[in-house]
Chains A and B, each alone.
Chain A
Amino acid sequence: MSDPLVTVQNVTKTFEHEGRSLEVLKGIDLEVDCGEMVTIVGPSGAGKSTLLHLIGTLDLPTEGKILYDGRDVTRLGSSDLAEFRNRSIGFVFQFHHLLPEFTALENVMMPGLIQGGRRLENRARKLLDEVGLSERLTHRPGELSGGEQQRVALARALLMEPKLVLADEPTGNLDSQTSDAVQSLIFDLNRRHGITFLIVTHSRDFAAMMPREVSMKDGRIDSDVRRAQPLETQGKPT
C-alpha cells in the first residue's frame, strides 16, 4: 500500500487549567489509509474528541506531528490551515452545528462560499438529494428534525469532496431508527465515493459494524482491531 492518508506521530496534548497541566493525550501513533472506515471508541475522557480535533486541525498538538499525504499540517500558518480544512476535511458533529440563519441548501453550500464565491449550487442540490432531503432545500435548521439536520451536516461535509470526513458522535443524540438511517448513509457514501471516515462513537452497534476499531483509554491507544468481515461483502473501496 502507498502512503497513508493521515499519519499521527507521537502526538501529545496538554491542557493548562488553573495552573495545573492536564495531559489528555499521552503519545498517540495512528495511521489511516485512504478509503478506510475507522471508529474510535473508549470511555468518556479518554481523549477521543481531542484526538479528532487535532486530526481535524481545529487544535494543535503540544508535541508530535500530524501528516497528511506526508505533509506536516502542524506547521501550517492559520490561514493556510483554514484553507486546508476547507478543502480536505469535512466535519460532522454530534449536535450537527448548522448555521441557524441559513437554509439547508445554503448550509450545504457554505464551504464553497467560504472558499471564495464558488456557489457549487448544483452539487449541493445533488448531495441533498443523495441524503434524501431534496424536498427540504429552503428549510432552516430550526424547521428540520434531528435526523434531517444530521443529514444536512453530512451533505455539507461532503461538498468540497474531501478525502477525509471526521465525525464526532454523529448519531449521538438521534433515536435508534434515525441513527440507523444515518449510519447506513455513511457506509453508502464510503462505498460509492471512497471517502475516508473517522468516527468517534459511543454506540457499540455502530462500532461493531465498522471494519476498523481503535479503542482508547487514558490518552493512549488501547487496541487497534481490523475486522475484515462487514465490508468484505460490500466491495473493496478504491
Chain B
Amino acid sequence: MSQPRPLGVWTAVLCGFGVLHVVAVLVLGATSTQWFQATIGNDLLWVRLAIAWTTTQLTLMLLSAAVLQRAARLPRGARGRARTVGLAITAGLHAVISTASVGVLLWAARVSVGHVLGGTIPSLLFGLTHLAYSDVDLAWVPTLYHTATTLQGVTAALIVTLSMSCWFLVPAKRRQRFWWGFDAALVLAFLAVSFLFPLSPTDGDDASLARAVVRVGITTVFAVRLALRMVGPLLSMFERIGFRSMVAARHLRAKKTGFLAASGTLSILAVAVSSCMLISVLSVMGGFRADLKKKILGNRAHIVVDKAFEELDDWQPLLERTRQTKGVVGATPFLQVEVMVSSLSNRAGAILRGIDPATVSEVTELAHNLTHGKLEYLQHPERILDSSIHTSPAGSTTPTGPLDAMIHDAERAAAKGLPNEAKEDAMPGLIVGQELARALRLVVGDRVTVVSPRGDLGPTGPIPKTRPFRIAGIFYSGMYEYDMKHAYIDLSVAQRFLRAEGRISGIEVKVKDVERAAALAAELASTIGQDELRVRDWKTMNQQLFGALALEKLAMFITLGIAILIAGFSVFGTLTLLVQEKRREVGILKAMGTSARGVIRIFVIEGLLIGAAGSLMGLGLGFVLTFAAEHFGIRMNPEVYYIDKLPVHLDPTEFAMVGAATVVVCLAATLFPAYQASRVRPVDALRYD
C-alpha cells in the first residue's frame, strides 16, 4: 500500500469514544449537581457508576497506548500520522484526568480508595462492604464536580476535534455515500417531526418544549444540508446566465490553493456571523420595543384629550363627539390626582384615577390585567366581602394545602361575621397595582386610607381629606411604573372625594389603527375645535421613551454594522488574493477580447456571491436563533427586568435591511480588487511564467 493508513479500527473506536464522551459530559452537566448529590445518597448506583467510569477510562488508556504504538511505527510525514498521534495522546491524557477526577470525587465523598483504583469485581465487593459512610460532606462536592467536568469537557472536546479531522482521511467515495445516507435519514426525520411535533411548545410543559426544540433542531440541520446540496445546482444555473457569471461561478468552484480556500471560507463565516449578530440584536431590541408598546397601549389610551392645567366641565357632549369620530373604537372619561395611600403597615404615593367602569374596558386592558378581584367591585363594593377570598398577590386563589384551607375557611368566616353595618356602609372599592399591593402588603378586601391634597379648610389651615377604601382588585400590567404608581376608583366616587363634581381630567380614546393615532389626533382636535384642549397620541406622550429606544437601536446598528464592515475587509482580502491567483486567466480573457469593464464585473459578481452566501447563512442562523428565542422563551429574572421572558420580535423588513446592508458592504469591498484585476495587462500576465 502506497499510503499507509493508521486510521484503523483502533482510531475509529477512539473517535467514537470521544463523541460518546462529550455526550456523557453534556448530559451530566445538564443534570448537574442536584442529580449528583441525589446519587451520592444511593450507594449502589454511585459505586456502579464510579466503576463503570473508571473501567472505561482504563480501556481508553490502553486503547490510546496501542494506537500510539502503531502510529509511532509509521514513517514520519505519513498521511494522518500527526493526527493519530495527537488523538492518541489526547485520549490518554483524558483518561488519566477522568480517572483522577473520579478518584478525587470519591475521596471527597469519603468512599474508600480501593474501588477507585481497581474498578474490578473484588474492589466492588470491597467497596460495598466498606460503604458505611453516612455523613457525606456535600459542600465539597459541587466545586470539585464542576472542576472535574470542566477538565473532562475540555479534553473530550479536543478528542472530538481531532476525531473530526480524521474524517477527511476517509476516502471521498465513502464520505459521499455516508452523506447520502445521512441526508436520506434527515429527510425522513424532517418529515416525521414536521407532522408529529409542535412548533411552539405549550407553556410549562417540558415534554412539549423538548419536542419543539427537537423539531427546530432537525429542521435547521435539514435546511443547512439542503442549502449545501443546492450550492452546486445553483451555481450551475448561475453559470447559464452569461459569460461573466459563468467565469465568476467557475472561479468560486475551482479548487483553490489552501490559503485562499481558508480565506474564502473565513470571509463567508465572518459575513455570516456579523449579520447573524446584527439581526439577533435588532430582533431583541425590537422585541423590547414591541413589548413596551404593547404594555403602554394596553394600560393607557391611544389618544388623550385634556386641558393643560384645568379640569373639564360639561364633558358629556365632548365625549359623544369623540365617540362618533371615525376611527375611534372607544372613549372613556377619567379624573386623575396624586394621593397618598396608606395601609396598616405602610404608606406610598400613588396616582389615583377615577374611571368609569362601564366604559373603561373599551379603552384599556384594566379588566383583563386584574389578577385578583373584579372591576365590578368598584361600583358594588359590598360584593367584595360577600364573595371575598382573601388572597395575596403572590399566592394562588385556590387553597392547596390543609393549612391554606384552614386559613381560607377562617377568612370566609371572618368575612361573614362582619357586622351588618359594615356591609351597608361599604367602603368604596380601590384597585391597585401589584407592586403597590406588595409594598403596602395588601390583599383584596383589605382596608386602606387614601389621603387627598384637596382638603377642607380647618381651623389651623387646610387639612388633607382622608377616606377609607377597600381593595377591590389588584392588577398586573407588566410595567413596573404602572404597577407601583397607579390606583383606580369609580369616577363618581372620585369626583365627590376630590371635590370635582361633574368635572373630569380628560378623555381617553382608543383607536382602530394605533399607527395612525397621530393623524387621528390631529383630526380629532380639528373636529372638537376648542383651542384650549390638548389632543395627544401615545407616541407624543411617550416620545422620550421611544426616542431613547430608537437611539439605542441606531447605536446598536452602527456598532454591529462595523462588525459587518470588518467582515467586508475579509471579503476584500479574499478577493485581492483571488485576483492575484487569477492574474494569468485575467490576461488570457483580456487577450481574447474581454473589456476592462467585463473583468470588473466578473470579480464584483464573485464578491457578491461570497457576500450573498455569507449573509444568507447569517440571516438563516439569525432567524433560527430569534425564532427559537421567541418560541421557546429565554427566561429572565422578573425581579430584575420585570419581564419573565426575553422579548423577541422578528421583523421581515429588518431582515431585508440587514441583508441589503451586508450585500452593499460586500459590493463596496469588491470594487477595488476588481478594479485591480481590470488593470492587469495581458502582456505582463502572459509573459513566460
Contact = CB atoms under 8 A, between A and B. Distances in A.
Contact of A99 (B585, B593, B681): B585
Nearest to A91: B591
A99 B243 CA distance: 13
Contacts of A97: 584, 587-588, 591, 686
A86 B590 CA distance: 9
A58 B685 CA distance: 11
Interface in B589-625: 589-598
B593 A111 contact: yes
Contacts of A83: 593, 595
Contact of A86 (B246, B250, B254, B593): B593
B227 interface: no
A100 B592 contact: no
Contact of A82 (B246, B250, B585, B593): B593
Interface residues on A, range: 20 to 34
Contacts of B589: 99, 110, 114
The main secondary structure of chain B at its interface with chain A is helix
B254 A101 contact: yes
A93 B598 CA distance: 22
Contacts of A82: 590, 593-596, 598
A95 B687 CA distance: 10
Contacts of A115: 593
A142 to B, nearest CB: 10
B688 A102 contact: no
Interface in B656-689: 681-683, 686, 688-689
A56 interface: yes
Nearest to A172: B688
Nearest to A96: B588
A58 B683 CA distance: 6
A78 interface: yes
Interface in A89-125: 91, 93-95, 97-102, 110-111, 113-117
B261 to A, nearest CB: 14
Contacts of A116: 243
Contact of A110 (B251, B584, B592, B597): B592
A33 to B, nearest CB: 24
A94 to B, nearest CB: 7
A117 B244 CA distance: 10
A116 B243 CA distance: 7
B593 A114 contact: yes
A113 B598 CA distance: 12
B554 to A, nearest CB: 43
Contact of B585 (A79, A100, A156): A100
A87 interface: yes
Nearest to B685: A97
B597 A79 contact: yes
A100 B589 CA distance: 12
Interface string B77-117: 00000000000000000000000000000000000000000
A163 interface: no
B253 interface: yes
A85 B593 contact: yes
B688 A91 contact: no
A218 B260 CA distance: 43
Nearest to A168: B686
A85 B251 CA distance: 24
A91 B686 CA distance: 11
Contacts of B75: none
A100 B362 CA distance: 74
Nearest to B588: A97
Contacts, number: 75
B221 to A, nearest CB: 31
B652 interface: no
Interface residues of B, number: 28
Contacts of A99: 247, 250, 585, 588-589
A65 B682 CA distance: 20
Contact of A95 (B243, B246, B251, B689): B689
A59 interface: yes
A111 B681 CA distance: 18
Nearest to B587: A97
Nearest to A53: B683
B591 A114 contact: no
A59 B683 contact: yes
B242 interface: yes
Interface string B567-597: 0000000000000000011011111111111
A203 B461 CA distance: 125
Contacts of B585: 99-101
B594 A94 contact: no
A102 B592 CA distance: 15
Contact of B688 (A56, A79, A86, A94): A94
A151 to B, nearest CB: 17
A144 to B, nearest CB: 16
A113 to B, nearest CB: 4
Given A85-B592, A86-B592, A114-B598, A101 B250 contact: yes
Interface in A136-152: none
A117 B595 contact: no
B596 A117 contact: no
Given A94-B688, A99-B585, A114 B594 contact: yes
A165 to B, nearest CB: 13
Contacts of A79: 595-597
Contact of B253 (A84, A87, A101, A113): A101
A78 B682 contact: no
A110 B590 CA distance: 11
A7 B74 CA distance: 68
Nearest to A54: B683
Nearest to B242: A117
A117 B589 CA distance: 15
B595 A78 contact: yes
B597 A85 contact: no
B580 to A, nearest CB: 15
Contact of B591 (A56, A102, A113): A56
B591 A58 contact: yes
Interface string A211-227: 00000000000000000
Given A59-B683, A114-B598, A117-B242, A102 B593 contact: no
A203 B22 CA distance: 68
Contacts of B596: 78-79, 82
Contacts of A59: 681, 683
Contacts of A91: 591-592
A85 B596 CA distance: 13
A113 B595 CA distance: 13
| Residue with the greatest number of chain A CB neighbours at <10 A, chosen from B243, B584, B596 | B243
A83 B598 CA distance: 11
B686 A93 contact: yes
Interface in B326-347: none
Interface in A39-59: 53, 56, 58-59
B236 to A, nearest CB: 13
Contacts of B683: 53, 58-59
Nearest 3 A/B pairs, CB to CB:
A86-B593, A101-B250, A113-B243
23 contacts: A58-B683, A58-B686, A59-B683, A82-B595, A82-B596, A82-B598, A83-B595, A86-B592, A87-B593, A93-B686, A94-B688, A97-B686, A98-B588, A99-B250, A99-B585, A99-B589, A101-B251, A101-B585, A113-B243, A114-B589, A114-B592, A114-B598, A117-B242
Interface of A: 53, 56, 58-59, 78-79, 82-87, 91, 93-95, 97-102, 110-111, 113-117, 156
Given A99-B247, A101-B250, 17 more contacts: A58-B591, A58-B681, A58-B683, A78-B596, A79-B597, A82-B593, A85-B593, A93-B686, A95-B688, A97-B584, A99-B589, A101-B247, A101-B251, A101-B254, A113-B242, A114-B243, A115-B593
